[in-house]
Amino acid sequence: MDDSAKFDTVKGQGGETHQQVHHSGPHTPEGHLTTNQGIRVSDNQNSLKSGARGPTLLEDFVLREKIFHFDHERIPERIVHARGSGAHGYFEMTDSLADITTADLFQRAGERVPVFVRFSTVAGGAGSVDTPRDVRGFAVKFYTKEGNWDLVGNNIPVFFIQDAMKFPDLVHAVKMEADRAYPQAGSAHDTFWDFASLMPETTHMLMWAMSDRTIPRSLRTIEGFGVHTFRFVSAEGKSTFVKFHWKPKLGLQSTVWDEALKLQAADNDFHRRDLYEAIDSGAFPEWELGVQLFDQALADSLPYDVLDATKIIPEEVVPLRIVGRLVLDRNPDNFFAEVEQVAYCPANIVLGIDFTNDPLLQGRLFSYLDTQKSRLGTANFHQLPINAPKCPMRNFQRDGQMQMAVPKGRANYEPNSLGAHGEEGGPRECPVTGFTSFAAGEGKDEQGDKLRVRAELFADHYSQARLFWKSQTDAERAHIASSFVFELSKVGLKMVAPRMVANLRNVDEDLAARVASGLGIDLPEKAPAARAPIDIAPSDALSIHKNMKATLEGRKVGILICKDTDAGALKTLKADIEAAGGTPFIVGVQIHGIPLSDGTKADADGQLLGSPSQLFDAVFVLLSEAGTQRHLKEAASIEWVMNAFGHLKAIGHTKESHPLLEKAGVVHDEGVVLADEFIAAACKRYYEREPSLRTLA
């Protein structure tokens, strides 16, 4: 019997139909699933909602216990997103949204709000490396005049699951296997793919995760997304749905898989170092904030549900409106005090921004406070400087571990009449200026029976995965298929790969055939789809390659030099790279006192063995004829050039250094050039080179 997720049609009291997801696998000898109190669980897939698209209910003790226990499984590092980097900066409004939201930070063009941003990997522990194939967290804390707003998202606009009830299961599956505590920071193992192959709703996210989005070149070249649909509320009480996008100024950039693997050996802190050094040098990372704004009528017209976190709205359907920019201009003064102790929570919103009934978002609103209390050890974590609002904060919450405030007076309750007797009565609520939640759901099925169900359109798990696949270039499709092959080749459970490929047949037959061929298995029968997939027009915004910028700005160029390197050529090359916005990095066999052709001496920025070419965006081999002969005997030099070519980077060279390129197997193409063509060539990667270098699915 197939163990995959099933959807049953159920009827509410009013006769409406909804989709109820469950798993129909065989009963195990262990018996019934229960809560920690021994109460049998009837549905472990869906949280309890008021109507199929309604808000998650506080009375859902099954969800509350499951999330509560999950939040406290690890101390003291974060359960997920443990490996992170952060920086201070500001958000500047460039296009007022005063007619759409009352949120103060969106009112006045030109006004700046301080922020703290944390980037992170998801699966690895705090001591893992920066460059595994993984989703990157992108969390922004806005210190607004009206309080803190936390936009807690990722570099991918969708997520693996639709309902927060499944979050502990997802993370347990992707983390180190429980009996052996490995692999660290990777999804290429049995438990993750067993889970994913049984949960068709993961398919769209898997397409993104197997793409180059999860092996970025730099944190400065990733997009960010709020993932969920939120809402803006105007002064008149009108609701407008909103999805948040961060667009990097430098454009999208990624590595290739072999390069990402070698970066883990070359520099465990590659992304952390890159971010720190960019800010330290004054090359401040920058993103534009784009919003997709739409109303209930448009939401109702779409063939997918805007409350489903496994779905996007293509930018061709709802174009982005650029409304501001994010600039990171200051590194942390103390990594622990700021990056490790910062506490984000999606429930932290300000007047004019509100939630929707997205069941994954609703569960996150439960979860984060528990996690912060567990990690930081006190309910007063909000008093830590990195978490404290920069506007006045007054209430009647008192005492607790690590209380740093010294409240005065007798008033620690409300209402009180102490103010009438000459004492400090304390703050009071204000119905006029205080936060009020948007009054009611506007969409269908947002109110009604208490149900453990999902809305009908949530059952379409493949249409948007197909959209993502169709939107990629040929090279990107080859990377995605090859990633599936690599990941599934690490799975020892024999039934998982055929089950996963059976799901992929609903996305694209060519994709499924390529993965099956790469694994050496027969193409399995197509998995039944709970809802027949539809075709959606491709979206260029989903492709990394279509959104790369031909520029050297923010990029690093490695220059291999030797004794007798032409001093004038080195000076000119460095100046040209800097003029184009790049950073030259000199590499030598020695670090200090390298004699050049004119008798002067140069210092290298890095030693050859410690500065492999995977650290750079492009390379130049600036060797003399005699120096080339010496480097022909250096395995590290040959590998330096070989890897740059294999990682599809531009290679500049002198005529004298040509024998080293030949020995490294370099075949001349548009990306292998002499000095006069190098700057233009170094602004891109050469993906057309790849099929001649490695076998791709």
Residue labelled with tokens 């109460």: 39
Among residues 18, 46, 88, 154, the one annotated as catalytic is 154
The interaxial angle of helices 61-71 and 359-376, nearest 10 deg, is 40
Inter-CA distances, 563 with 285, 584, 642, Å: 36, 18, 22
CA–CA separation, 630 and 667 (whole Å)? 21
Q: Do residues 322 and 97 make contact, with C-beta atoms less than 8 angstroms apart?
A: no
Q: Do residues 244 and 291 make contact, with C-beta atoms less than 8 angstroms apart?
A: yes
CA–CA separation, 22 and 452 (whole Å)? 10
Active site residue 81: yes
CA–CA separation, 218 and 275 (whole Å)? 8
Which tokens is 498 given?
């055929």
Maximal CA-CA distance, the chain: 93
SS3 assignment, position 485: helix
User: With helix as H, strand as E and coil as C, how does 377-413 read?
Assistant: CCCCHHHCCCCCCCCCCCCCCCCCCCCCCCCCCCCCC
Q: Phi/psi at 231 (nearest 5 deg)?
A: -135, 145
Residue labelled with tokens 């609520």: 429
Among residues 18, 46, 81, 148, the one annotated as catalytic is 81
- Non-local (6+) Cβ contacts of 69 within 8 A are 36, 168
Distance from the first to the final alpha carbon of the chain: 30
SS3 assignment, position 401: coil
In sequence order, what DSSP letters do the residues of 620-668 get, joined into one string? EE---HHHHHHHTT-HHHHHHHHHHHHTT--EEE-GGGHHHHHHTT---
20 DSSP 8-state letter = E
Query: Which amino acid does the sequence have at 198?
Result: L
Which tokens is 628 given?
């080339």
> Nearest CA to 424 among 412, 435, 411?
411
CA–CA separation, 232 and 529 (whole Å)? 35
Q: How many residues does the chain have?
A: 697
Active site residue 154: yes
SS3 assignment, position 118: strand
CA–CA separation, 284 and 22 (whole Å)? 48
Query: Which amino acid does the sequence have at 607?
Result: Q
Q: Do residues 201 and 310 make contact, with C-beta atoms less than 8 angstroms apart?
A: yes
Inter-CA distances, 210 with 125, 156, 514, 515, 544, Å: 21, 12, 14, 12, 13
CA–CA separation, 237 and 607 (whole Å)? 62
- Non-local (6+) Cβ contacts of 520 within 8 A are none
Pairing of strands 286-294, 112-121: unpaired
Inter-CA distances, 135 with 154, 170, 193, 253, 278, Å: 7, 14, 16, 15, 22
> Nearest CA to 497 among 70, 192, 172, 63?
192
Catalytic residue set: 81, 154
